[in-house]
């Protein structure tokens, strides 16, 4: 029987932890959310994040910027939010239009407000064992794996994808969890063979139904971090379901946990500040 | 015929490049070198680095600290060197005594003076494609591979080791070079099998003669980043030599290039500053 790794119980556990923690701080956490342009998925995701924030008692401050905004205007907004004491966390939704420098914009976010874990400083800190916020989807994947008591130590984990907010920080974090980690990407030649050796396969590639059941080892664990139009993950769910021992559904797998991690980071950012009130 | 990947011609090429560049800047580069304690290898390495600096026209400023120094005293020295305009680069030789917090000390080094590439910020920057200094041994390995026209793109590279100044930044940098990268370490279970799949094996594990010839694939390329007592690398040279298509000798492989990269970073740090004189 293949085990289904649902995200909702994991997200609920995080939320419960947060509600308790929030009682101990005397500040309502606030998260600023920025979308640049009209990307439909971005608007949908951020709406979900804002609704979840409100439910948790976190106040979202929405900034919706025109797709023709200049880099200077975007940086100016981030600077304003950085210096606004009331703002605990800043979320700049990826992607932003191509004429803008996303890396520069991400890295402008103050480390202590980087609740989405997108800055290169947060990335470096986490890799070196320091206490910053890990990018939310990798953080969600690790929380989910731990929730279901899946061992990472000494396991061969294959990560497909090397994006700056998913594949790279995930591979780094998994090495720190004592896994043997292989990172694959668009230039990987024999991805089926490599996936075939994995004890745990994590698809973070952004291509619908990319990972096929025939690639994976019998009994492997499959984590699907993808979410493509038509509710399709990066994993060919049907064919993998038959062969793996456990799998995350899409939707309802990694997604809800990612949102819960964003809330958690925001509350922790507010809590750190509250100590000094 | 197995090709020997000597480091000296690579180092010479870097030094030639530097001599040309130094003509264009009006400042003598200065590097501060710090050793804490009596570690014999540390003293030997830093002496080699200082001699190479002098030969290149870089002035070394030597700081030799007692092994009982406190964290505050070490941080105070780093702060002083950070704010000294004359100092272009700071090298804090790893390892420092166990009662000190090495990560905090490394991360105290100003980003623009981090010529040894040890700060978590430099690490994060490099991983995210920004322009900081990559840790010297990983930088040397990549320079050596490129010098000998060895393709990294789409190759399966197995890195053995995950230290903060070698294995981790190396794996990250190789992913950016479009290699498929597997990172192994002390908790990796079937390291022989994994090494057996590598097109390029990089040993950075700190155990003498760890990688055996029988592990590697016929025709693989072997890079030995180790240097252990008795001139032994991390690779069992004799048995690997027969099976691989190319290998770095120890000594005389990665080592000289590592020193050349340190010099290069120091000169570049000085050059950036010189522009503003």
Q: How many CB pairs under 8 A join A and B?
A: 110
Asked whether residue A53 is assigned to any structural domain, the reply reads yes
- Could A120 and B103 be called an inter-chain contact, meaning their C-beta atoms sit closer than 8 Å? no
In sequence order, the 6+-apart residues with CB closer than 8 A to the CB of A82 are A90, A108, A109, A110, A113
Q: Is the dihedral of CA B36, B102, B271, B11 positive or negative?
A: positive
Shared domain check, B225 and B151: yes
pLDDT in tens, chain A (277 residues): 899 999 999 999 999 999 999 998 888 999 999 999 999 999 999 999 999 999 999 999 999 999 999 999 999 999 999 999 999 999 999 999 999 999 999 999 999 999 999 999 999 999 999 999 999 999 999 999 999 999 999 999 999 999 999 999 999 999 999 999 999 999 999 999 999 999 999 999 999 999 999 999 999 999 999 988 888 999 999 999 999 999 999 999 999 999 999 999 999 999 988 765 4
| Angstroms from B182 CA to nearest CA on chain A | 4
Confirm or reject contact between B110 and chain A (CB < 8 A). Answer: no
Domain holding B72: CATH number?
3.40.50.10860
- Could A121 and B120 be called an inter-chain contact, meaning their C-beta atoms sit closer than 8 Å? yes
Active site residues of B: 49, 93, 116
Do residues A22 and A267 lie in contact, with contact meaning Cβ atoms separated by under 8 Å? Answer: yes
Shared domain check, A151 and A96: no
Q: What is the pLDDT of residues B91-150, one digit of tens each?
A: 999 999 999 999 999 999 999 999 999 999 999 999 999 999 999 999 999 999 999 999
Cα–Cα distance, A192 to A203 (Å, whole number): 12
- Could A187 and B180 be called an inter-chain contact, meaning their C-beta atoms sit closer than 8 Å? yes
Shared domain check, B237 and B160: yes
Shared domain check, B83 and B39: yes
Structure tokens at B214: 């029988």
- Rounded to the nearest 10°, the torsion over CA B261, B267, B268, B269 is 110
In sequence order, the 6+-apart residues with CB closer than 8 A to the CB of A268 are A21, A133
**Residue B187 is nearest to which of A154, A168, A172, comparing CB atoms?**
A154
Confirm or reject contact between A108 and chain B (CB < 8 A). Answer: no
- Could A187 and B119 be called an inter-chain contact, meaning their C-beta atoms sit closer than 8 Å? no
Confirm or reject contact between A122 and chain B (CB < 8 A). Answer: yes
Q: Judge if the upstream peptide bond of residue A5 is cis by omega within 30 degrees of 0.
A: no
Asked whether residue A155 is assigned to any structural domain, the reply reads yes
Q: How far is CA B6 from CA A25, A65, A250, in A?
A: 60, 55, 51
Asked whether residue B55 is assigned to any structural domain, the reply reads yes
B186 known ligand binder:
no
Q: Give me the number of domains chain A comprises.
A: 2
Other residues' Cβ atoms within 10 Å of the Cβ of residue A2? 15
With contacts defined as CB-CB under 8 Å, which chain B residues touch A168? 127-128, 172, 175
Shared domain check, B193 and B87: no
**Residue B182 is nearest to which of A124, A178, A180, comparing CB atoms?**
A180
Shared domain check, A177 and A106: no
- Could A124 and B129 be called an inter-chain contact, meaning their C-beta atoms sit closer than 8 Å? no
Asked whether residue B38 is assigned to any structural domain, the reply reads yes
Do residues B157 and B179 lie in contact, with contact meaning Cβ atoms separated by under 8 Å? Answer: yes
DSSP, residue by residue, B196-207: TT-SEEEE-S--
Do residues A49 and A262 lie in contact, with contact meaning Cβ atoms separated by under 8 Å? Answer: yes
- Comparing CA positions, the residue from B164, B169, B198, B166 lying closest to residue B182 is B198
- Comparing CA positions, the residue from B206, B214, B202, B207 lying closest to residue B239 is B214
Shared domain check, A240 and A159: yes
**Residue B130 is nearest to which of A120, A125, A129, comparing CB atoms?**
A120
- Comparing CA positions, the residue from B254, B140, B239, B142 lying closest to residue B192 is B239
Structure tokens at A250: 């899409």
Cα–Cα distance, A105 to A78 (Å, whole number): 8
ipTM: 0.96
DSSP, residue by residue, B127-194: HTT-SS---HHHHHHHHHHHHTT---TT-EEEEE---TTTHHHHHHHHHHTT-EEEEE-TT-S-HHHH
Shared domain check, A82 and A49: yes
Q: Judge if the upstream peptide bond of residue B95 is cis by omega within 30 degrees of 0.
A: yes
Interface test with B, best of A187, A190, A195, A217 (most B CBs within 10 A): A187
- Could B128 and A123 be called an inter-chain contact, meaning their C-beta atoms sit closer than 8 Å? yes
Asked whether residue A46 is assigned to any structural domain, the reply reads yes
Cα–Cα distance, B172 to A101 (Å, whole number): 22
* pLDDT value, residue B275: 60
A110, with CB counted inside 10 A (0-12, 13-18, 19+), is: middle
A107, with CB counted inside 10 A (0-12, 13-18, 19+), is: buried
| Closest chain B residue by Cα to residue A197 | B194
Q: Give the end of a domain, one of A111, A128, A148.
A: A111
Which residues are registered as beta bridge partners of B221?
B200, B246
Which residues are registered as beta bridge partners of B235?
B211
Do residues B120 and B110 lie in contact, with contact meaning Cβ atoms separated by under 8 Å? Answer: no
Q: What is the pLDDT of residues B118-130, one digit of tens each?
A: 999 999 999 999 9
Sheet with B59-65: strands ordered across: B59-65, B30-36, B89-92
Cα–Cα distance, A132 to A113 (Å, whole number): 10
- The DSSP symbol for A232 reads B
| Angstroms from A121 CA to nearest CA on chain B | 5
* pLDDT value, residue A22: 92
Structure tokens at B123: 């690490």
Shared domain check, B101 and B144: no
- Rounded to the nearest 10°, the torsion over CA B253, B256, B259, B263 is -120
- The DSSP symbol for B34 reads E
Shared domain check, B99 and B159: no
Specify the residue for token string 């038959």: A242
Shared domain check, B88 and B174: no
For chain B, residues with pLDDT lower than 70 are 275-277
Number of H helices, E strands in chain A: 10, 9
Asked whether residue B19 is assigned to any structural domain, the reply reads no
| Closest chain B residue by Cα to residue A123 | B124
* pLDDT value, residue A151: 98
Asked whether residue B117 is assigned to any structural domain, the reply reads no
Domain of residue A166 covers: 136-254
Cα–Cα distance, A243 to A28 (Å, whole number): 46
Shared domain check, A206 and A243: yes
- Comparing CA positions, the residue from B183, B123, B179, B134 lying closest to residue B156 is B179
Domain holding A216: CATH number?
3.40.50.720
**Side-chain half-sphere exposure of B265, counting CA atoms within 13 A:** 30
* pLDDT value, residue B260: 98
Terminal-residue alpha carbon distance, chain B: 52
Asked whether residue A94 is assigned to any structural domain, the reply reads yes
């Amino acid at each position: 029987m293949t085990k289904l790794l649902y995200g909702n119980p994991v997200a609920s556990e995080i939320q419960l932890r947060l509600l308790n923690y929030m009682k101990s701080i005397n500040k309502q956490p606030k998260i600023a959310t920025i979308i640049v342009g009209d990307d439909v998925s971005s608007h949908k995701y951020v709406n979900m994040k804002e609704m979840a924030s409100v439910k948790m008692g976190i106040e979202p401050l929405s900034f919706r910027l025109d797709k023709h905004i200049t880099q200077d205007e975007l940086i100016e907004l981030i600077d304003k939010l950085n210096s606004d004491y009331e703002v605990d966390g800043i979320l700049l939704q990826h992607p932003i239009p191509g004429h803008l420098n996303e890396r520069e914009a991400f890295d402008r976010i103050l480390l202590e407000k980087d609740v989405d874990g997108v800055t290169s400083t947060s990335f470096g800190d986490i890799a070196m064992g320091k206490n910053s916020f890990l990018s939310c989807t990798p953080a969600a994947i690790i929380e989910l794996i731990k929730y279901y008591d899946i061992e990472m130590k000494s396991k061969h984990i294959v990560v497909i994808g090397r994006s700056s907010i998913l594949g790279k920080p995930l591979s780094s974090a998994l090495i720190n969890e004592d896994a043997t980690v292989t990172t694959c990407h668009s230039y990987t030649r024999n991805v089926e063979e490599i996936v075939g050796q994995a004890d745990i396969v994590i698809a973070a590639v952004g291509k619908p139904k990319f990972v096929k059941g025939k690639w994976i080892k019998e009994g492997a664990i499959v984590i699907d971090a993808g979410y493509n139009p038509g509710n399709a993950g990066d994993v060919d769910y049907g064919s993998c379901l038959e062969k793996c021992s456990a799998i995350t559904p899409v939707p309802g797998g990694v997604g809800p946990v990612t949102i819960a991690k964003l809330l958690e980071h925001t509350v922790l950012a507010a809590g750190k500040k509250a100590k000094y009130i």
